Homo-oligomer: A and B are copies of this chain.
Amino acid sequence: SRKHRIAVIPGDGIGKETTPEGLRVLDAAARRFGFELELTQYDWSCETYTQTGKMMPDDGMDRLKDSDSIFLGAVGWPGVPDHVSLWGLLIPIRRQFDQYVSLRPCKLLPGSKSPLANRGPEDIDFYVVRENTEGEYSSIGGKMFPGTDREFVSQQTVLTRIGCDRIMKYAFELAMTRKRKKVTSATKSNGITFTMPYWDERFAEMAKNYPEVTTDQFHIDILCAHFVQHPDWFDVVVGSNLFGDILSDLGPAVAGSIGIAASANINPEKTFPSMFEPVHGSAPDIAGKFIANPIGQIWSGAMMLEHLGEKDAADCIVQTIEKLLAEGGPRTRDMGGQAGTLDVGKAIAEAV
């Protein structure tokens, strides 16, 4: 039978609570659809950092490299600075494994509630495709004249032709698989005048290869406004690392809950393993209470199965989530219910 090797990193906070529910559902899907998951768990987290001084062992990346996919909970904990936790685990995986696509569905699920008035599932159903390796998250920068009135910091945004073209190609290919076949580009070429006009240029070039795809572009300021005012305009939205980051939190927010939002960090060529993680963070305020919504994690598991070629199993999980919510199944507090993390996980696993 088909076997997939999965590296599991629950990480911090609610990541430790949602990951087991994700695995519970993956396991149910494996049994139903006849494949095997070989799991290797890693306890890498801020907790291990405070014990060992390291977010992951020196050969951490090597150990992950042989897996087919990485299933991650959440990284980050108060007291451990971001440059240690995120830049010691999350960001190196995204970069060194060249997971240049961050794919994040924004979907208003039936039975879930958008904060927007009069919006139903037919109005909000799009993907944010985020460039995941360069752009505003660069490693070039520094400080001058420290401690004086002339002190300043600077940081470069870097957009490469290779980086722009491959993420845009991914967005257009994704649009080709969808009914509306539309790609929207997030830009800010009217204000950020060296990098973003180049982004526009590459977008226009790529669009020429896809005559069937409709395109438009908005500056990020008004695009955020449109997400709120006209979420129904969007099908596939492509953005730089920062703009994609913003839009893929705003999208799930207008669609009702960040707790259900899933994300995939994909290396499309499969040279390296891809990583699947919920959009939410470690949520220290509710960690330890087992009240966190596991759907973001479970949905990320479905995205992982799709990437591993188990499309039927992936579809089944997503449909099960939709059905459960539509039919008033158990839901966590963020969705107006009273259920705990395990209740929701078990209900979905059983239904699968």
Q: Which residues of A are in contact with B by a Cβ distance under 8 Å?
A: 76, 82-83, 86-87, 114-118, 136-137, 140-143, 148-163, 188-195, 197-198, 220-222, 224-226, 228-229, 241-242, 245-246, 248-250, 252-254, 258
- A114 to B225 CA separation, bound complex (whole angstroms): 12
Does B136 contact A149, Cβ atoms closer than 8 Å? no
* Known contacts A136-B192, A242-B191, A225 near B198 by CB under 8 Å: no
Q: Are A143 and B221 in contact (CB under 8 A)?
A: no
Q: Report whether A228 and B225 are in contact in the complex, using a CB–CB cutoff of 8 Å.
A: no
Contact between A192 and B151 (Cβ–Cβ < 8 Å)? no
Residue contact B228 to A141, C-beta cutoff 8 Å: no
Contact of A224 among B116, B160, B192, B250 (CB under 8 A): B250
Is the Cβ of A245 less than 8 Å from the Cβ of B191? Answer: yes
Taking a contact as CB atoms closer than 8 A, the residue among B197, B242, B252 that contacts A188 in the complex is B242
**B contact residues around A114 at 8 Å (CB):** 117
Nearest CB of B to A232, in Å = 12
Most buried by B among A228, A229, A252: A228
Verify A158–B162 contact, CB threshold 8 A. no
- List of B residues within 8 angstroms of A140 by Cβ: 154, 194
Name the CB-closest residue of B to A225. Answer: B253
**Do A249 and B229 have beta carbons less than 8 Å apart?**
no
What is the bound-complex CA distance between A241 and B190, given in angstroms? 13
Contacts of A226 in B (CB 8 A): 253
Summarize A's interface: helix, strand, loop or mixed: mixed
Q: How far is the CA of A116 from the CA of B194 in the complex (A)?
A: 36
Q: How many angstroms from the CA of A130 to the CA of B162 in the assembled complex?
A: 33
- Measured CB to CB, the closest approach of chain B to A297, in angstroms, equals 18
Contact A157 B155 (CB under 8 A): yes
Q: Which of B82, B148, B150, B157 contacts A154 (CB 8 A)?
A: B157
Nearest CB on B from A253, distance (A): 4
Contacts of A228 in B (CB 8 A): 115-116, 228, 250, 253-254
Q: In the complex, what distance in Å separates the CA atom of A137 from the CA atom of B220?
A: 14
Cβ-neighbour of A153 out of B118, B159, B249 (below 8 A): B159
The answer to whether A224 and B224 have CB atoms under 8 Å apart is yes
Identity of the chain B residue whose Cβ is nearest the Cβ of A153 in the assembled complex: B198
Nearest CB to that of A254 among chain B residues?
B228
Rounded to whole angstroms, the CA-CA distance of A220 and B191 in the bound complex is 18
- Max chain B C-beta neighbours (<10 A), residue from A82, A83, A154, A158: A154
> Known contacts A151-B161, A158-B152, A161-B152; is A83 also within 8 Å of B245 by CB?
no
Residues in B with CB closer than 8 Å to A76 are 190
Interface pair A87/B193, CB less than 8 Å apart: yes
Inter-chain contacts of A224 with B (CB < 8 A): 224, 246, 249-250, 253
- Which residues from B are CB-within-8-Å of A248? 221
